[in-house]
Amino acid sequence: MFDQLQQQLIKLGPQLLRVPAQAMPFPLQRVCLENALNRALATSIEDEELAFLADKWLKVTVTDLDVSWCMTLKGQKILVAAPQQAADVSFMGALNDLILIAGRKEDADTLFFQRRLQIEGDTELGLEVKNLLDGFDMALLPKPALHGIAKLAEFIAQGSATRFTVSP
Q: What is the CATH number of the domain that holds 90?
A: 3.30.1050.10
- The domain containing residue 24 runs over which residues? 2-162
Mean pLDDT of the chain: 88
Residues paired with 68 in a beta bridge: 61
Query: Are 122 and 56 spatial neighbours (Cβ–Cβ below 8 Å)?
Result: yes
Q: How far is 80 from 109, CA to CA, in rounded Å?
A: 25
pTM to 2 decimals?
Answer: 0.87
pLDDT in tens, 106-123: 998 899 899 999 999 999
pLDDT in tens, 52-105: 999 999 999 999 999 999 999 999 999 999 887 689 999 999 999 999 999 999
Specify the pLDDT at position 132. Answer: 85
- Please report whether residue 105 resides in a domain: yes
Lowest mean pLDDT among 41-45, 93-97, 161-165: 161-165
Measure Cα distances from 165 to 5, 40, 153, 159 in Å.
15, 36, 19, 10
Total tally of structural domains belonging to the chain = 1
Q: How far is 143 from 50, CA to CA, in rounded Å?
A: 23
